[in-house]
């Protein structure tokens, strides 16, 4: 059992949670399509990173119900960002994947978010940038726990 000097304080945990939430919220505003919801961007990003999925797999991955994912996918398909096709291994299944327009939205959103972070980092001194680089590594480890 760690001693009280090395145990994280509730205040430190709360401060980190709030800071991460505020930073993430600010970055989410940097997107290629202003009218697109966070959930819609998340679905496009998931397909971009992980490749084509069935509707059920997407719903599971995004931790939403199948009916909610159906609404999101239908909307994104109507906008031209997704396409459906028969599964090569099981013709009864439908696979959802990005169109070129969907990939372009994710590429542009990533570019805008990276530019926003880059500009914010440019305002910091070298020590703060090094601290944040180390924090990013630590946060990646925390996220995979």
pLDDT digits (tens, 9 = 90+) for 94-137: 999 999 999 999 999 999 999 999 999 999 999 999 999 999 99
Residues 68-93: tens digit of each pLDDT = 999 999 999 999 999 999 888 887 88
Asked whether residue 5 is domain-assigned, the answer is no
Asked whether residue 6 is domain-assigned, the answer is no
| pLDDT at residue number 32 | 92
pLDDT(6) > 70:
no
Asked whether residue 91 is domain-assigned, the answer is yes
Q: Structural domain tally of the chain? A: 1
| pLDDT at residue number 1 | 47
Asked whether residue 3 is domain-assigned, the answer is no
Asked whether residue 4 is domain-assigned, the answer is no
Residues 12-69: tens digit of each pLDDT = 999 999 999 999 999 999 999 988 999 999 999 999 999 999 999 999 999 999 999 9
pLDDT(4) > 60:
no
Band (7; pLDDT cuts 50, 70, 90) = low
Asked whether residue 102 is domain-assigned, the answer is yes
The residues pairing with 2 across neighbouring beta strands, listed in sequence order, are none
Q: Is 92 in a helix, a strand, or coil?
A: coil
Measure CA of the first residue to CA of the last residue in the chain; give whole Å.
Answer: 19
Rounded CA-CA distance 36/64 in Å is 17
The residues pairing with 86 across neighbouring beta strands, listed in sequence order, are 94
Range of the domain at 128: 11-143
Residue 20 backbone phi and psi in degrees, to 5 = -65, -45
Band (5; pLDDT cuts 50, 70, 90) = low
* CATH classification at residue 69: 1.10.10.10
Asked whether residue 2 is domain-assigned, the answer is no
């Amino acid at each position: 059992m760690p001693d009280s000097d090395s145990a994280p304080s509730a205040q430190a945990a709360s401060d980190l949670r709030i800071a991460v939430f505020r930073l993430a919220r600010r970055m989410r505003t940097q997107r290629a399509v202003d009218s697109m919801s966070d959930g819609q961007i998340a679905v496009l990003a998931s397909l971009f990173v992980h490749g084509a999925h069935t509707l059920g797999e997407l719903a599971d991955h995004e931790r939403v119900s199948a009916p909610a994912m159906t609404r999101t996918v239908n909307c994104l398909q109507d906008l031209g960002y997704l396409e459906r096709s028969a599964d090569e291994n099981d013709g009864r299944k439908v696979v959802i994947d990005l169109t070129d327009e969907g990939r372009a939205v994710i590429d542009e959103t990533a570019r805008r978010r990276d530019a926003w972070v880059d500009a914010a980092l440019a305002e910091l001194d070298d020590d703060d940038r090094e601290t944040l680089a180390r924090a990013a590594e630590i946060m990646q480890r925390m996220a995979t726990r």
